[in-house]
Amino acid sequence: MTEKNPADPLAQFAATFFEECAELLSDLENRLTSLDAAHIDSEDMNAIFRAIHSIKAGAGAFKFVELVEFSHAFENLLDLLRAGEAEVTDEVCQLLIKAADIVADLVDAAQDNRAVEDGFGSDTLEQIQNQIDVIKGVSGADDGPAADTQDAGPSAPQDTGTMIYTIVFRPHADLFRHANEPLLLVRELRRLGDVVAKPDCAKLPPLQSLDPEQAYIGWTFVLTSDQPLQAIEEVFEFVVDDCDLDITATPGSEDAPSRNNDEPSVTAAAKDDKAQKAKQPSAQAGDGGSGKRSKVNSIRVDLDRIDRLVNMVGELVITQAMLRQQVLDNTGEGAGVPMQGLEDLALHTRELQEGVMAIRMQPVKSVFSRMPRIVRDLSSKLGKKVVLETSGEETEIDKTVIEELGDPLTHMIRNSLDHGLESPEERQAAGKPAEGRIKLSAEHRGGRILIQIEDDGRGIDREKVLAKAVERGIVAADAHPADEEIDNLIFEAGFSTADEVTDVSGRGVGMDVVRRNIANLGGRVSVDSVPGKGSRFSLTLPLTLAVLDGMIVAVGAEKYVLPLTSIVETLRPEPNDIHTLVNQSEVVSIRGDYIRMVYLHRQFDVPDAITDPSSGLVVLVETENGSRIGVFVDELLGQQQVVIKSLEANYDPVDGISGATILGNGRVALILDLDALESASLGPCRTNGGLGTQATSPPVRAASGSELTPPTDATALAIGRPPVPTSDNANPEPQSWN
C-alpha cells in the first residue's frame, strides 16, 4: 500500500474520497442485499455498477493498486450483467455480495494505510473472472462478425473493422471538485486501442492567477480501436455533466458512415442542448459556467466541529439562565424591560439550541440498512426462510445514539433468527407459512424514540428458560416467578438456552450486552412474548445525549435532577404507608404495591434535609429494567431542560450520578442515575431476585417493581424483602413509559 504523508496536500481529498466510499458502500450493500434474482431491477444494477466505478476511479487517483485491480474486475462483471448478457442467479448474487465485502475491506485497508496480505481476495477475484469467461462464452463474443452485428444493432461496427475516433474533451472548471481525474480517462481509452493526445492550453491563465482546484486544459484524442461507440462513451459516462464532449468516428468499414452521420449528431445535439441550458444560469450567476453549484444543498462537516458548536450553545443556554436568575435576584419579578429582553433571549436561545441539535440528528436508516445483510447471511446459514420488514427508517435520532445502536440491533436480530423463528418444517407443522417474518420499526413517541423488533416465531419457552436459570443458580428451585420475570432472565449475563455452542449462539453473550448498551445510552429494553405466536422486543432511547428534560428536586440545600421521562407520579405518603425491613431498608405501600425507598439525604450525606417521609415527597420513578423505586426528596422545584455535562470527564465517577449540569444560579446540580440508586438501595443483603442465592448481577424484577418472590412468610422479611401483596389490586399495570 502506498505510504501517505500526513502533510500531503492531497490528504483532504483522500478524506473526502473515503467519506464518499462509506456512502457508496452503504448504498451498495443495501441494494445487493435486496437484490432478488427473480426480479432484477435495472436501476439497482446500474446503481451498483456506478458505485464500484466511482470507487475504482477515486482509488486510481490515489494509487490504491489492489483496490483498483479488484474493482476493475468487479466492474467488468457488473457491466456484463447490467447489459443483460447473463442471467443474475442466486449464485451470482452471492458472488456480488462477497465481492462487495472484499471492496469494503480494501477501502478500510487503504484508509488505515495498511497493507493487505498477499493473495487477499484472490479466490473471489478468480470466481469473478470465471463468471466473466462463462458469460462471454455464452453471449457468443467469438461467433464472428455476423453475430456481433446482430447483437450490437445496425450502427455497431463489425469486429473486423477498425474505427478512428476523434474525441474533443473540454473539462469544466469544477471538474476536479467532483472527484474526476482526466488522467484516468486517458488510461481507460488506452485499454480500448491506440491513443494520440493533443492538449489545448488556450484557457490556461498566468501562473500567479492559477487556481490548482480548477481544470483549464482540454484535449483532443485520436483513438484507433475496433470497439463500438458505446464503449468509448462509457469511458466518459461519469464526467459528461462536467465537460464539453464531442465524439466523431471515421469509418473503417461500410457501416461506419451511418454511425458517423447518425450517432455523432445525437451526441452533438445533446451537447448543444446542455450547453444552451448551462448558458442561462451562467449569465445570471456570472461564474463562468459554474451555475450548477447552486444545486448543492448540503455540505460535509467534521463531527468534532458540530460537537464544539453543541457545547458552545449549551454554554449559551447556561449563561442565559444565569442572567435571568441574577435579574430576578436583584429586581424581583417586576423587572420590566430587562425581563422582557431576557425572555426574548431565552426564546431565541431555545430556537438556536434546537437548530444546532437538529444538525446532529440523522435517520436510523443508516443502521437499519445493515440488518437485511445480517438476515440474509444468517438465514442461509441456519437453513431458514426469513423476510425482514422495516418501517420508520427516516425517524431521526442523535448521531451519537445511532453509532451505539448497531451492536444491540445486531444481537437482537440474531436472537430472533436463531432462537425465535422455527425451521420451515416446524413452521408448516404448526400451521404457519414456511417463511418467517421479522419486523423492524422505529417511531417517535413521548419525546423518545421507540424501536421494536418483532418476529412471528415460537416465542420464549418459559419452562426451558426457568429450568436453565435454576440450573445456573440464578433462580432458586422453589421459586415461582411471574411470566414477565422469566422473560427478563434472557438478559442475564452468560445466560443461554442453546443446547450447544455454535458460531451463531450458545455462549450467553448478546442479550446482556443489549441491555447494558441500551442502559448506557439512557434507554431501556423490554420483551413481550406469546408462546407459539412470537416475541416483540422494545427499545426506548433518548433522542439526544446532550440535552435532558429534567425535574429539579431539592434535598436540604442541594439540588438534583431527575430524568423527566422516568417519573411516574409524585405523592406524600401517610406514616402508616412506610414499612421498615429487618435490614433497616424501607418500602412504601402505594395502592397495595410495595416499592423500595431511596433516601437521597442518606445516599449523599446531605445535612439539614427532611427525614420524615410524611413531611416530604416520594417521587415514583421507573428504572431502565422496568422496575420502580421511590426517591424521597424535600420538594420539587420545577421542570427544566438541562445541558448534560460528563462527570467522569470533568471530575470522577460517582455512584448514583450519571452526569451534571449548571443551574441558573451558577451552581452544579447532579443528574441522578436511577439504576445505580436502585442497586444501592438493595444494601449488603442484595440477592439474585431475593431468592437466597448470591449474585453479582442486578435482581430480576417484574414490571410492577416487585422482585421474584417466594410465598409470603417470615423468610421474606429475613432476607430484606417486603411481604408479597395478597390483594387483587396488588400488581396493577404500570403506567406507560411513553
At 116, which amino acid appears?
V
Query: Residue 43 has what pLDDT?
Result: 80
Residue 55 lies in a domain: yes
Least confident of 100-109, 483-492, 695-704: 695-704
Q: Based on the domain organization, do 133 and 166 belong to the same domain?
A: no
Name the region of 142 (left: φ>0; alpha: ψ -120 to 50; beta: rest).
Answer: alpha
Question: Pick from 681, 696, 720: which residue ends a domain?
Answer: 681
Does the residue 629 lie in any domain?
yes
Most confident of 3-7, 256-260, 707-711: 3-7
CB of 635 closer than 8 Å to CB of 623: no
Q: What is the CATH number of the domain that holds 278?
A: 3.30.70
Average pLDDT of the residues in 624-633: 82
Same-domain status, 555 and 587:
yes
Let me know whether 192 and 321 are in one domain: no
Model confidence over 342-384: pLDDT tens digits? 777 877 877 887 787 778 788 888 888 888 888 888 888 888 8
Q: Are residues 188 and 210 in the same domain?
A: yes
Please tell me whether residues 191 and 120 are part of one structural domain: no
Q: Is 674 found in the same domain as 565?
A: yes
- Work out the pLDDT band at 683, boundaries 50, 70, 90: low
Q: Is 70 exceeded by the pLDDT of residue 409?
A: yes
* CA neighbor of 545 nearest in space, from 664, 653, 394, 403: 403
**Whether the predicted pLDDT of 202 surpasses 90:** no
pLDDT tens for each residue of 279-291: 333 333 334 333 3
Across the range 664-687, mean pLDDT stands at 72
Q: Are residues 662 and 651 in the same domain?
A: yes
Residue 535 lies inside a defined structural domain of this protein: yes
**Better pLDDT: 294 or 461:** 461
- Do the strands 547-555 and 593-599 form a parallel or antiparallel pair, or are they unpaired? unpaired
Sheet with 435-445: list strands edge to edge. Answer: 385-391, 435-445, 448-455, 534-542, 524-530
- Calpha distance 469→597 (Å, rounded): 28
Domain annotation covers residue 335: yes
Domain identity same for 380 and 270? no
Check whether 138 has a pLDDT greater than 80: no
Q: Which residue has the higher pLDDT, 472 or 333?
A: 472
pTM: 0.56
- Does residue 620 lie in a domain region? yes
pLDDT in tens, 512-536: 788 888 877 777 788 888 888 899 9
CATH, residue 553: 2.40.50.180
Residue 418 is assigned to a structural domain of this protein:
yes
Q: Are residue 429 and residue 536 in the same domain, yes or no? A: yes
Assess if residue 653 is contained within a domain: yes
- Do 315 and 245 share a domain, yes or no? no
pLDDT at residue number 561: 92
Q: How many other CB atoms are there within 10 angstroms of residue 68's CB atom?
A: 20
At 64-123, the pLDDT tens digits run: 888 888 888 888 888 888 877 878 888 888 888 888 888 988 998 888 888 888 888 888
* Residue 706: pLDDT over 70: no
Q: Which domain holds residue 591?
A: 548-681
pLDDT per residue as tens digits for the range 293-311: 334 456 667 777 877 887 7
Q: Percentage of the chain with pLDDT > 70?
A: 76
Segment holding 59, helix H or strand E? helix 42-61
Tell me: do 348 and 255 sit in the same domain.
no
Alpha-carbon distance 195 to 222, whole Å?
A: 6
- The reported pLDDT for the residue numbered 555 is 93
In this prediction, residue 643 carries a pLDDT of 79
- Mean pLDDT over 218-233 rounds to 86
Tell me if 22 sits within 8 A of 55, measured CB to CB.
no
**E-only strand ranges, 348-407:** 361-363, 385-391, 396-398
Here the CATH number for the domain that contains residue 370 is: 3.30.565.10
Write the CATH number for 119: 1.20.120.160
Split into its structural domains, the chain has a count of 5
Pairwise pLDDT comparison (676 vs 109), residue with the higher score: 109
Please check whether residues 192 and 320 belong to one and the same domain: no
Whether 716 is covered by a domain: the verdict is no
Q: Report the pLDDT averaged over residues 12-22.
A: 81
Of 86, 118, 140, the last residue of a domain is 140
**R_g of the chain, CA atoms, integer Å:** 34
pLDDT at 347: 79
CA distances 309 to 42, 301, 312, 358, 663, Å, are 43, 11, 5, 12, 20
Domain final residue, candidates 282, 312, 334? 282
Beta bridge partners of 222: 166, 196
Spatial distance between the Cα atoms of 181 and 587, rounded to a whole number of angstroms: 73
